[in-house]
Structure formats: C-alpha cells, structure tokens
Amino acid sequence: KILHENHLVFSPLFEATAHVFISQEHPLAGQSSISPDMLGPYPFLAFEQGTYNSFYFSEEPLSTLTRKKIIHVSDRATLFNLLIGLNGYTICSGILNSDLNGNQIISVPLETDETMLIGWIAHEKSSLTTTAREYLDELKKLITQDGYELL
C-alpha cells in the first residue's frame, strides 16, 4: 500500500532462504543448520533504519517472533560488533561478503520455510542512470555466482 501510494515500484531480483548471521566463535557456529528454538538464549539484533520503523519495514524474516532478548541497532558495523561481542544473532538472506564484513561473521541456514524476496525500489516515473544500470548488472552477476536464480 505504501509503495503504491508513493508511486514506487518494487523490482524483484531473487528469492533467498533465511539464514542466521553469527560470530564464528558463537556456540552454534558448528551447526549445519539452526532451528529458531536453538536461538532462544541469545540476543536477537534487529537492524532498523529510518523514521517510520515498524514490523512492516523489518529487514529480517520472522521479525514477529517473540524473543527474550532484542537489541535494536541502526548501524551495520555496530550490529556486527554486537554479533561478535554478545554472541548475538540476526536473521537475513545468507549473503555475506567477506571483503566488506571480514571473516568473523558466518551464515548458517535457519530451519524454516520462510524466504526473502530481494529486490530494489524506484519511483515509477524514474529511469535508471548508466551507473545504476551498471551496478544492477554487476549485482546480478554476483547473485548468479552465489548460485541464486534471478527472477
């Protein structure tokens, strides 16, 4: 509804399965997959940005689950530092770039049927600049290299 009211168009790129981002030192780091119940003792780190945050704008799948410990952060570097320092976790696409984030954070599949539809948003009357088209082309190459199928 908000996209429509603001004349915005969502363009899907790919669908990803839910993963847990944790520190490589986290007690669950050796698991081949993690169930939501296994995460209970650890703090959940929710990434929020912007003024109008609500669960409608959450980046994380399963954002409506009840959790004992939640820390809201608005900075990705802080989120990653807390993942390491507090044995916290967040739930996301599973796509992790070690060039940007180093090797201390790992991605482990989450045992759920939830998926994420990843894409981009633009105004319906806008056209992409040459740089934006080149960026999307490069992004699509990386997505397919990671084994995802473009939509």
What is the rounded distance in angstroms from the CA atom of residue 8 to the CA atom of residue 28?
Answer: 40
Query: Which residue matches tokens 């363009």?
Result: 11
| CB neighbour list of residue 69: distance below 8 Å, 6 or more residues apart | 42, 43, 44
Look-up of token digits 């944790």: 22
For residue 35, what are its two tokens?
Answer: 């169930």
Region of 13 (left: φ > 0; alpha: ψ -120 to 50; beta: rest) is alpha
What does each of the 151 residues of the chain score in pLDDT, given as a tens digit?
888 999 999 999 999 888 999 999 999 999 999 999 999 999 998 877 655 555 455 555 555 566 678 888 888 788 888 999 999 998 888 877 666 666 889 999 999 988 888 899 999 999 999 999 999 999 898 888 878 889 8
- Close Cβ partners of 38 (under 8 Å, ≥ 6 residues apart): 28, 31
pTM score: 0.79
In a 10 Å sphere around its CB, with 0-12 CB exposed, 13-18 middle and 19+ buried, how is residue 120 labelled? Answer: middle
Residue type, 48: E
